[in-house]
Amino acid sequence: MPSNLIHPPAAFVVRHAVADDTRALAGLIDQLAAHHGDRATTDDNALRTDLFASSPWATALVAEGGGRLVGYALLVRLYQAQYAARAMDLHHLFVVPDARNSGIGKALIEAARTEAAARGCVRLVVGTHPENRRAQSFYRMLGCPDLPPHGPRFEIPLDASRILTGERR
């Protein structure tokens, strides 16, 4: 076994992210994006603005153990006007590979449930990539029911001239 192997922390704490976490959090987001074959373009300054502004776009929960961040959950608010129903989307859930299977993912989900309930939400939803069978199995193991697929989704360009001309990206 390599001598530099990092073992999962024996003890960890889940808490709300603070502004000083943004650099490490950006690194975790980079790891999740790479895991999905993507490239993250966020940085700690953008996260600081989006998470800690007077009207934040998202809420981050982090798991800390062994003096470092070992996972995070990123929550985004949802609203269904026809039901006057608040909900939250568990937009990201990530645990570093060497700390998986240690209860951190479950603890982050429980913290996300608590956060959603505290904000008056009626539900917390999460999606996975269709091919991410490991994540799907994890959510099913936790007792999360599958939701029926929704219809197609579209991106509406914010540049109005592209809509009028039919220009595509």
Q: State yes or no: pLDDT of 30 exceeds 80.
A: yes
Domain count, the chain: 1
Average pLDDT over residues 17-28: 97
| 32 in a structural domain | yes
The pLDDT tens digits of the residues spanning 50-100 come to 999 999 999 999 999 999 999 999 999 999 899 899 999 999 999 999 999
Asked whether residue 154 is assigned to any structural domain, the reply reads no
Q: DSSP string covering 35-104, please?
A: HTT------HHHHHHHHHSSS-S-EEEEEEETTEEEEEEEEEEEEEGGGTEEEEEEEEEEE-GGGTTSSH
pTM: 0.84
Is residue 153 a part of any domain in this protein? no
CATH of the domain at 49: 3.40.630.30
Calpha distance 124→75 (Å, rounded): 9
Distance CA 41, CA 48 (A): 14
Would you say residue 124 lies in a domain? Answer: yes
**pLDDT in the model for residue 154:** 78
Task: Please indicate whether residue 61 or residue 147 has the higher confidence score (pLDDT).
Answer: 61
Query: Is 168 within a domain?
Result: no
User: What whole-number distance in Å separates Cα of residue 92 and Cα of residue 127?
Assistant: 9
Is residue 121 domain-resident?
yes
Does residue 139 lie in a domain region?
A: yes
pLDDT in tens, 92-146: 999 999 999 899 999 999 999 999 999 999 999 998 888 889 889 999 998 889 9
108: containing domain? 13-147
